[in-house]
Structure formats: structure tokens, C-alpha cells
Amino acid sequence: MLFLAIFGPTVEDTLGRIPFLALYLLGGLAVLGSQTLIDPGSTAALLGAAGAVTAILAAYVVLYPRARVISLVFVIFFFTIVEVPAVLLLGLWLAVQTYFALAGLTFA
């Protein structure tokens, strides 16, 4: 939800409220549908919120491919503020989410 709070308002300003809402809901439905196809016998309650957030982040990358984001980076006991490409930050987010899913660290 942190990534949605950071990147969502910019996408909403560009697309408008109704298209933003439609993108968010369609992203959630797409993940819900794909999860149902993968495991139709699942009894876990699914909402697709992660897919909805991913759709918004993908829209951000498409709309602003050269954008840079100010980030706080921790290095052992020190931290610094750096400006990194948004594509790199969102790619790292996607890699972490994929790792959690493959390692069974998600809660369902």
C-alpha cells in the first residue's frame, strides 16, 4: 500500500479519477481470474489487491519511463538519500513480491 500511496496520485492525476478506478479494479479482477484459473479448488479468500496495485505501478512505468524517485537507502548502520530510476525501484518491488510468492511467504 505504501507504493500505491507514493505512485498512485501521479497516475490518478494523469488518467483522471474514473479511468484510474477502472484500471485499479481491472487489475484486481485480472489477478483474481488468473488465481482462479491456476488453483480453482482454493478455499482462500482472494481480493486481488496486490494485482490492483501492480496495475497502477505498471501504468506509472508506462506513463513515466524516465522518472526518478528520491529514496532512503540503508547501508549497514548508515543511511543516505539517493535519487534512483523509478523503473529500478518498481522492478525491485516486483522481484521481492515474486520471491515472497514463490517462497510461500504470502498470507492467504
Which of 58-62, 78-82, 95-99 is the most confident on average?
Answer: 58-62
In tens, the pLDDT along 1-52 reads: 888 998 999 999 999 999 999 999 999 888 888 878 877 777 776 667 888 8
**Lowest mean pLDDT, pick from 46-50, 60-64, 81-85, 87-91:** 46-50
The fraction of the chain above a pLDDT of 90, given in percent, is 35
Domain interval for residue 18: 2-102
In-domain check, residue 108: no
In-domain check, residue 30: yes
In-domain check, residue 93: yes
In-domain check, residue 107: no
CA-CA distance, 107 to 99, in Å (whole number)?
Answer: 13
Q: How many independent structural domains does the chain possess?
A: 1
26-42 residues labelled b (16+ CB within 10 A) or e (exposed): ebbeebbeebeeeeeee
CA 37 to chain centre: 21
